[in-house]
């Protein structure tokens, strides 16, 4: 699985819940939400475009930061 890091303009718990909701709908995603830094790390076999489109369904500004190497 690729580990991808995205910026999502989240300001509150409601924003991170919206991200959680859309990612659960995509199915089978393992992810971490870092609210203070407005980052979402996703382990996924989906491509970046699919993940970005999904994150944008929250209505938040979202952009791809890059691949994260597994620690």
Please state the domain count of the chain. 1
pLDDT along the chain (71 residues), means of 10: 94 97 91 97 94 97 89 54
33-65: burial string, b at 16+ Cβ within 10 Å, e else: beeeebbbebebebeeeebbebbeebebebeee
Residue 47 domain boundaries? 2-67
pLDDT score of 71: 54
Helices marked H in 1-71: 13-26, 48-56
Closest CA to 55 of 69, 29, 13: 29
The single residue listed with the structure tokens 């991170």 is 16
pLDDT score of 55: 98
Tell me the three state secondary structure of residue 66: strand
CATH code of the domain containing 35: 3.30.70.100
């Amino acid at each position: 699985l690729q580990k991808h890091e995205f910026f999502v303009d989240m300001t509150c718990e409601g924003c991170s819940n919206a991200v959680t909701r859309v990612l659960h709908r995509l199915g089978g995603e393992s992810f971490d939400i870092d609210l203070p830094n407005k980052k979402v790390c996703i382990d996924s076999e989906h491509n970046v475009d699919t993940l970005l489109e999904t994150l944008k369904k929250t209505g938040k500004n979202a952009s791809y930061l890059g691949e994260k190497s597994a620690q």
